[in-house]
C-alpha cells in the first residue's frame, strides 16, 4: 500500500484553498494549509475541515522566510499550491507596495524555499503558482498561453513577476513548477468585496427590502467567469503530468458586468436597471476592458473542461445567499 500524498496549500482559507482542500482530501491526500494569524475569524470557509484527520493548519506568512522553511519541513509536501496573495485588483491601487511584496516577492520566496528544501531532502516536491488572467490586461482576446502580458494594475504586475519567477526556477533549477493562468472564477465562497458576490448579495438584499440600490463601477467590462470548484481540479491536474507546463483555465465565453447583473436580478424576478447606480469612485485608474480565454491546451493535454455555465454559477451563488440569512 503506497503512502498518502501530502500537499501544502498557502491561502488555504480562501475560496480556492477551501475547494482545493476538499478535492485533495477526497483523493486521500494529507493537506497542510498555511494561514496568517488574525485577531478575527478567518476560517469560515474551512471550518468543516478543521476536525478532519487529513487536514492540518500551519501559521505562516509569505513575507516571513523562516516560517516558509519551517512549514515545508512540517508538511513535507509532495505538492505545493501557492494560492496566497493580496488578490483584490482595485485595492492593489491603494496598497501597491504591499500587493507586490505579498503577491510577487512572496511567490519568489516560496520558490526559493522549495528549491532549497528539495536540495536538502532530495525530494521532488512539485510547485503550483496561481497566475491570473489580469496579467493579459489590454491584450486583445481571446488570450492563451502565447498571448502577451500587458498588466494594468499593481496586482497584475505582481502576478507577472511571480509567473516569470516560476519559469525561471523551472529552467534554472529543474524545479517541477507550473503556473495556472486562471480567468475569473467565482462561487458562493467568493469574498464580499468581489464584484460577483457584491452583485448577488445586493440583489438578495433588495429582494428582501433591506437595500435600495447597488453601486458599481464599469458595467461594460467583460470577463470570462467560471466556477471555482471546477477550476481547482485543473490545478491538481497540472501537477500530475510528466512534464511541467503552464495552462490557461477558462470557459472561453465572456460577458459584461452588466449582463451578470441582469442574470442575477432576473433569477429574483427583479429588473437590475431600477437599482444599479454607476459610481465613478469605483472605476479603476486603468481598466481592463475585455478578458476571454482559450483553454484549448488544457482540454487537449489535461483533459479538463469547465462543467458549470454562467447561469448555473449565478444560481448557485443566489441560492447560497438566500440560505445564508
Give pLDDT, residue 2: 65
Residue 312 annotated in active site: no
Residue-level pLDDT at 1: 53
- Confirm if 120 and 108 have CB atoms less than 8 A apart: no
Show the cell assigned to 191. 469574498
19 is catalytic: no
Superfamily of domain 6-186+225-252+295-301: NAD(P)-binding Rossmann-like Domain (3.40.50.720)
Catalytic residue among 155, 227, 231, 290: 155
Q: What is the pLDDT of residue 112?
A: 98
Bridge-based pairing state of the strands 30-35 and 6-10: parallel
Fold of 195-221+254-291+309-323: UDP-galactose 4-epimerase; domain 1 (3.90.25)
The one catalytic residue among 22, 79, 134, 321: 134
Is 319 annotated as catalytic? Answer: no
- Which of 132, 147, 153, 254 is catalytic? The answer is 132
Q: What DSSP designation does 148 have? A: P
Predicted pLDDT at 325: 61
Written as nine digits, the cell of 259 is 449582463
Q: Which long-range contacts (CB under 8 A, 24 or more apart) does 259-263 make?
A: 260/195, 260/196, 260/199, 260/225, 260/310, 260/314, 261/199, 261/203, 261/214, 261/216, 261/219, 263/310, 263/311, 263/314
Contact 19, 187 (CB under 8 A): yes
pLDDT at 87: 84
Low-confidence spans in the chain with pLDDT less than 70: 1-2, 39-40, 325
Kindly list the domain boundaries of the chain, sorted by start residue: 6-186+225-252+295-301, 195-221+254-291+309-323
Predicted TM-score (pTM) of this structure: 0.96
d(CA 115, CA 126): 10
Same fold, 6-186+225-252+295-301 and 195-221+254-291+309-323: no
pLDDT for res 37: 80
Amino acid at each position: 500500500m503506497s503512502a498518502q500524498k501530502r500537499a501544502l496549500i498557502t491561502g488555504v482559507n480562501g475560496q480556492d484553498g477551501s475547494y482545493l482542500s476538499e478535492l485533495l482530501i477526497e483523493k486521500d491526500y494529507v493537506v497542510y494549509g498555511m494561514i496568517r494569524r488574525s485577531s478575527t475569524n478567518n476560517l469560515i470557509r474551512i471550518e468543516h475541515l478543521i476536525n478532519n484527520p487529513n487536514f492540518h493548519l500551519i501559521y505562516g506568512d509569505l513575507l516571513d522566510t523562516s516560517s516558509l522553511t519551517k512549514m515545508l519541513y512540517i508538511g513535507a509536501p509532495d505538492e505545493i499550491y501557492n494560492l496566497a496573495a493580496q488578490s483584490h485588483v482595485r485595492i492593489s491601487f491603494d496598497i501597491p507596495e504591499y500587493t507586490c511584496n505579498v503577491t510577487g516577492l512572496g511567490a519568489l520566496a516560496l520558490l526559493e524555499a522549495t528549491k532549497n528544501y528539495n536540495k536538502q531532502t532530495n525530494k521532488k516536491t512539485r510547485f503550483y503558482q496561481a497566475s491570473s488572467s489580469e496579467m493579459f490586461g489590454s491584450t486583445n482576446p481571446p488570450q492563451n498561453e502565447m498571448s502577451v502580458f500587458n498588466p494594468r494594475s499593481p496586482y497584475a504586475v505582481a502576478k507577472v513577476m511571480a509567473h516569470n519567477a516560476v519559469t525561471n526556477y523551472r529552467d534554472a533549477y529543474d524545479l517541477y513548477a507550473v503556473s495556472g493562468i486562471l480567468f475569473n472564477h467565482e462561487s458562493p465562497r467568493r469574498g464580499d468585496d468581489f464584484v460577483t458576490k457584491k452583485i448577488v448579495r445586493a440583489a438578495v438584499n433588495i429582494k428582501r427590502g433591506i437595500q435600495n440600490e447597488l453601486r458599481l463601477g464599469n458595467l461594460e467590462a467583460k470577463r470570462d467567469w467560471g466556477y471555482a470548484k471546477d477550476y481547482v481540479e485543473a490545478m491538481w491536474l497540472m501537477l500530475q503530468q510528466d512534464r511541467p507546463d503552464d495552462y490557461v483555465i477558462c470557459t472561453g465565453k465572456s460577458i459584461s458586468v452588466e449582463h451578470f447583473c441582469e442574470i442575477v436580478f432576473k433569477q429574483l424576478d427583479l429588473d437590475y436597471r431600477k437599482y444599479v447606480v454607476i459610481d465613478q469612485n469605483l472605476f479603476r485608474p486603468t481598466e481592463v476592458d475585455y478578458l476571454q480565454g482559450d483553454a484549448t491546451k488544457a482540454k487537449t493535454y489535461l483533459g479538463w473542461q469547465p462543467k458549470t455555465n454562467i447561469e448555473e454559477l449565478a444560481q448557485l451563488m443566489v441560492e447560497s445567499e438566500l440560505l445564508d440569512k
